[in-house]
């Protein structure tokens, strides 16, 4: 007996097969193209997602020695905020505009003007920002009216895979939370906002909870994938919600810290929380009657990757010479620098910023650079700057009384012992790693599929039976105090530079 998890990500689709104890039986990935027709525009073809998913499902079944009848439940995960538009016959009308697309600043401002920031906060638990799906739909209406007039259904990226697999027009409450059309507290489509934006409610997909059955594999789905017709497919969730499930972030007091290309803090709450300054978002969680607060920084491991690509030329050659990774060489170099990088601070706003400062004009900065600084200070300051951003977001959450008794780390950056040590000392909290099989959006999606199929009673039981933490990284009080003084300086920099960022962006 196996459970199948499918995660439709920005660079590719990942599928996993796990058993009821959470042990990984097999995994497979397939990539697809990313299109950028103009600077800051990012699109993908939903048909590419489906083709890659079909290949990945067939490959993971083969790798796991499984047949369709072995799969008891399927769960879906995917990137938030993307816009998929279908016509009356279920045909894709244009490429999907993705979560990271930057063309919709004007539409975002107009939505805030039409709806009102306070009403947005009351209904959607956010003040609005350009990345939400509604902004993308308004952009299509403003710039491609002939396409907008033919829209019969909209959905999120993973939901197009569901549509092809089951024939159902459906999404879940976690993904719907990132659209600006959902009444987050009521966990249902808003009665007000679609009309205010000139969007017929009829084009919104059906809504389900993440662990509920959203449909069954159809005959067409079987012909494409080899899965058994009638296999239940869970509502699933946005990738951060599913990753949180995969890490056991399903009760108050436990939070996840994801150090991927972008960085995310995700914590479960028993009631929706709203920040008047928009320093974090509040979404429905994949657990019924549970919400989450999440904060995203745009360039976490992405800042490290930028440093690797643009600056670390010598270190890359050294890694090749030694037969190791550039990440390991850079960690060794950063470890030579003192705590605080000799009072050198790095603002990792290389792609604008989302939280706690929603500002597409924000840019990266090294502050405090002097002639005594070397390469070791530069790379360590990058690690510390990302950690300071995470603390900035954590402080905003804690100011609303959200408990953070335990933080669990995941993502590529979590494989760096030095970076985790820095994270623990900057945030002042112990950080737990995850065991190899636990964590990840596809793993969490598979657990949701297990709940939908009746393998588990509920999401909490699924996590208790399968999720395992690894080692603990402890906070050093002395180092934490040093970072505390520097954090005050770090927090002062963005407000001091905000107007300069705006002027630079307008020049």
Catalytically active residues are 239
CA distance 215 to 166: 6
291 SS3 class:
strand
Find all residues with CB under 8 Å of 228, minimum gap 6, and list them.
68, 69, 71, 217, 222
CA distance 384 to 387: 5
User: Minimal CA–CA distance to 413: which of 307, 302, 491?
Assistant: 302
Residue 308: C-alpha distances to residues 12, 220, 375, 386, 420 (Å): 22, 45, 12, 15, 19
Residue 259, classified by CB atoms within 10 Å of its CB into exposed (0-12), middle (13-18) or buried (19+), is buried
CA distance 205 to 176: 9
CB distance 255 to 408 below 8 Å = yes
Query: Taking the chain, what is the end-to-end CA distance rounded to the nearest angstrom?
Result: 60
- If you ran DSSP here, which 8-state letter would residue 353 be given? B
CB distance 46 to 79 below 8 Å = no
177 SS3 class:
coil
Residue with tokens 């538009």: 85
User: Minimal CA–CA distance to 300: which of 338, 248, 263, 352?
Assistant: 263
In this structure, what token pair is assigned to residue 20? 């009821």
In this structure, what token pair is assigned to residue 75? 């769960």
CB distance 226 to 266 below 8 Å = no
Residue 239: C-alpha distances to residues 59, 331, 439 (Å): 22, 28, 11
DSSP 264-277: EEEEEESS----TT
284 SS3 class:
strand
Residue 496 backbone phi and psi in degrees, to 5: -70, -25
DSSP 173-206: HHHHTTTT-EETTTTEE-SSHHHHTT--GGGSPE
CA atoms within 13 A on the CB side of 92: 20
């Amino acid at each position: 007996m196996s459970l199948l998890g499918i995660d439709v990500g920005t660079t590719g689709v990942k599928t996993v097969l796990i058993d009821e104890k959470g042990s990984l039986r097999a995994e497979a990935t397939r990539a697809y193209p990313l299109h950028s027709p103009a600077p800051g525009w990012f699109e993908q073809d939903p048909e590419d997602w489906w083709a890659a998913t079909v290949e990945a499902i067939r490959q993971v079944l083969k790798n796991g020695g499984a047949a369709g009848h072995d799969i008891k439940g399927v769960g879906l995960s995917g990137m938030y905020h993307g816009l998929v538009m279908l016509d009356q016959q279920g045909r894709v009308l244009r490429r999907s505009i993705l979560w990271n697309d930057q063309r919709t600043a004007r539409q975002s401002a107009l939505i805030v003007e039409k709806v009102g920031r306070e009403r947005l906060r009351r209904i959607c638990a956010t003040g609005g920002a350009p990345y939400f799906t509604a902004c993308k739909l308004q952009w299509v209406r403003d710039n491609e009216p002939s396409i907008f007039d033919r829209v019969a259904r909209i959905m999120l990226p993973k939901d197009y895979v569901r549509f092809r697999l089951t024939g159902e027009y459906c999404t879940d409450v976690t993904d719907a939370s990132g659209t600006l059309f959902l009444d987050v507290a009521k966990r249902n489509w808003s009665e007000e906002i679609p009309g205010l934006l000139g969007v017929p409610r009829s084009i919104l997909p059906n809504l389900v909870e993440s662990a509920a059955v959203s449909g069954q594999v159809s005959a067409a789905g079987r012909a494409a994938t080899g899965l058994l017709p009638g296999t239940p497919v869970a509502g699933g969730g946005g990738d951060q919600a599913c990753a949180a499930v995969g890490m056991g972030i399903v009760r108050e007091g436990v939070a996840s810290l994801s150090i991927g290309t972008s960085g995310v803090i995700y914590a479960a709450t028993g009631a929706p929380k709203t920040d008047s300054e928009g320093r974090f978002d509040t979404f429905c969680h994949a657990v019924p009657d549970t919400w989450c607060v999440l904060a995203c920084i745009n360039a976490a491991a992405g800042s490290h990757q930028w440093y690797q690509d643009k600056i670390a030329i010598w270190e890359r050659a050294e890694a090749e010479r030694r037969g190791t990774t550039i990440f390991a060489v850079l960690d060794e170099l950063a470890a030579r620098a003192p705590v605080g990088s000799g009072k050198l601070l790095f603002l990792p706003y290389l792609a604008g910023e989302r939280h706690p400062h929603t500002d597409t004009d924000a840019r990266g900065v090294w502050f405090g650079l002097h002639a005594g600084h070397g390469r070791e200070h530069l790379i360590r300051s990058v690690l510390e700057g990302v950690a300071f951003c995470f603390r900035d977001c954590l402080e905003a959450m804690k100011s609303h009384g959200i408990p953070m008794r335990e933080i669990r780390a995941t993502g590529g950056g979590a494989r760096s012992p030095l970076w985790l040590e820095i994270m623990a000392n900057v945030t002042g909290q112990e950080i737990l790693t995850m065991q190899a099989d636990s964590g990840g959006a596809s793993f969490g999606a598979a657990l949701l599929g297990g709940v939908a199929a009746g393998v588990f009673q509920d999401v909490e039981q699924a996590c208790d039976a399968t999720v395992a933490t690894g080692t603990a990284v402890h906070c050093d009080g002395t180092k934490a105090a040093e970072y505390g003084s520097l954090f005050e300086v770090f927090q002062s920099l963005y407000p001091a530079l905000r107007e300069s960022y705006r002027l630079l962006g307008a020049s």
